[in-house]
Structure 1
Amino acid sequence: MDVIAPPATGVRHHWAGLPAPVREAVEDILGARVVEARSQSGGFSPGVAARVRLADGRRAFVKAVSAEANPGSPDLHRAEARHTAALPPGVPAPRLLGSYDDGTHVALVLEDIDGRQPRVPWDAAELDRVLTAVGELGAALTPAPIDAPAAADRKARMFSGWRDLLAEGNDTGRLDPWAARSLGLLAELESGWAEPATGDSLAHSDLRADNILLTEDRVVFVDWPHALRTAPWFDLLAMLPSVSAQGGPDPEAVFSAHPLGRDADAAGVTAVLTALTGYFVAASLKPAPPGLPTLRAFQGAQGAAALRWLRGRLGNAAP
């Protein structure tokens, strides 16, 4: 399958461009001076994302954003700090070493993972590693070991895309023709997503290639601001549209063969997939947020992949 998603990138800022008080606070957390900082391109956050080397030879990973660059990013970093700090030992995620928050700038100081993102287009062997790790993660995080929002609360506003488009009565010319014809059905199916998504598994809920690192012996999941409590198969389902959009295999075949997906209630999965698809499609039609130039195109690619998957699941039930 071809890659239809653009690179997942935000507008990266350099370590040296951070205000001096932020840099000094990070160095206080680490207990040493930063002598080298290498920006990392993957991921959407509009700010600093850098691997840093310290004067004593140690390494760390620093993420920093400001409300000036993007008003919503500081709250996401605050949520990531809470969730990452609370994850129990043994969860394959970077340890939080400390954080800084002055009300405008938020910086996270994390363990530096000696790994790389999966190859895109997806390599079959690497995808198998990741899918196995997603299953292990789901088992390790059931029941949810930390307090996190319930999916029905966290996603309530986001998972109304088809209903919003139907109520607005416009923009249908920008929709896939099948989606435009099926808008009423999609809005109806979407309205039933919350109950099947309810559960007591902790999900990362934003798994994509740029939020995954492969080391020699581990798969590590990074960037946890969107963690929530939900059904055990939610992470797998939410990840597969991006996999498909980045050259991976048919999502239905992967989901139905995976331990997390094979016994899931089919109607419930379809309802949640409908809501997820509606979120991607409706979001992709909105103006780009500040500092996130490729986000809408990436959401559009995920929406197209999810729509193909959904249309296959619905079969003769849709026009």
Structure 2
Amino acid sequence: MDNQMNDIKPSAYLKEAIENVLNKKIIQCVQPNFGLSAALRYSIELEDKSKVFVKAATDDQTAGWLRTEHSVLASYQDNFMPEIINWIDEFVNFPILITQDFSNAFWAASDKGVHWRKGDIELLLDTVKKLSTIKGRHLLPKLENHNTGVWAKIAEDPEGFLKLKMCSGNWLMHSIDYLIEAESKVDKTGETLVHGDIRSDNICIDGSRVVFVDWSNACIGSADHDLVNLLPTLHLEGGPDPFQIMPDAASQAAALCATHIRRLSNDKSMPFWLKDVFKKLIAIELEWAAQCLHLDRPDGIK
């Protein structure tokens, strides 16, 4: 990723393992400034001027995620996935995944924000649609329905939600029953391959194709799951109004909004900037749900 790389030296073990399996010396190793897990990530240039991307687990949790990612990439091998170069999974050490490097591809997300070029969002939505047609054929976790009843809890004690200033008490009083019912009907189950974490820093554009990286949260579920979770964030980044893409997604929008409300309420350590992002997403999702349910638009923060 341009302007997001830091020069760094991998550990002696990691350097030796990579050079041995590839039979090439490492010339340069840089670390991208992305990725939220404790796994190590490197863009590595080899002695023949070729490049590979390396992700190395650092604990049992990241090892499990990395094995999931490897199994997905090895099983599906679709055009929107990185190509596997090699896989190191020794009993005495945490696994290492070596894949195609995309440091020269276009990344909309950078330390300067998110900037999509003309036509990128349309290409992205087309690729998400293609992903939604892939039938799950691998042993992955399956999405299940766990209705948390967030809107029902808000109905019982609306004060905390109203402090967010997403709507007035009057609007909530006239809309809450519809939101409760919509949330209760959401269905995440299905037989489709789900990436589980499609967002701008997990997306690059390599020529004319979109590539999704970081498949560690992959699972099997509803065909619309990835799109539903992408649209509000994409709208913040200049993308279309979610209602324009999914006008019949009342349950998904109400449930997604409820999920973000619950997390904002429960995560007391959330940094201020992330709280601001969550509030914006909640406002987008609440309006989306209201439009799908043919309710008046929320009369709070836009």
- Please indicate, yes or no, whether the TM-score normalized by the shorter chain is above 0.5: yes
Instruction: Please list the CA deviations of residues 41-77 of structure 1 after superposition, one character each: whole Å capped at 9, or x if unmatched.
Output: 244334532211012322111123534xxx8544333
> 2 CA distance for matches of 1:187 and 1:146?
34
Instruction: Please list the CA deviations of residues 152-181 of structure 1 after superposition, one character each: whole Å capped at 9, or x if unmatched.
Output: 16xx4xx63726965996854654443984
> 1 CA distance for matches of 2:22 and 2:279?
39
Report the equivalent of 1:240.
231
Report the equivalent of 2:120.
126
Corresponding position: 1:192 with 2:185: yes
> 1 CA distance for matches of 2:275 and 2:99?
28
- Cα contact 2:67–2:95 (8 A) shared by 1: yes
Pairing partner for 2:106 from 116, 131, 138: 116
Letter in 1 for 2:130: E
> 2 CA distance for matches of 1:249 and 1:93?
25
Letter in 1 for 2:105: G
Corresponding position: 1:178 with 2:164: no
- Cα contact 1:150–1:229 (8 A) shared by 2: yes
Change (3 A) 1:122 1:250: farther
- Cα contact 1:101–1:107 (8 A) shared by 2: no
Change (3 A) 1:14 1:160: farther
Letter in 2 for 1:160: T
Give the TM-score of the pair, scaled to structure 2. 0.76
Report the equivalent of 2:131.
137
Answer 1 or 2: higher relative contact order, Cα 8 Å, separation at least 6: 1
Letter in 1 for 2:242: P
Kindly state the Cα deviation for residue 318 of structure 1 after the two structures are TM-superposed.
9.2
Report the equivalent of 1:44.
36
Change (3 A) 1:103 1:45: farther
Gapped regions of structure 1 (runs ≥ 5): 1-11, 257-265
Pairing partner for 1:83 from 36, 59, 72: 72
**Identity over aligned residues, as a percent?**
24
Alignment coverage as a number of residue pairs:
283
Change (3 A) 1:100 1:35: farther
Change (3 A) 1:84 1:281: farther
- Cα contact 1:283–1:296 (8 A) shared by 2: no
Q: Map 1:150-299 onto structure 2 (within 5 A).
A: 150-152=142-144, 156=146, 160=148, 162=150, 166=154, 171-172=160-161, 175-178=164-167, 181=172, 186-194=179-187, 197-256=188-247, 266=248, 269-285=249-265, 286-288=267-269, 298-299=277-278
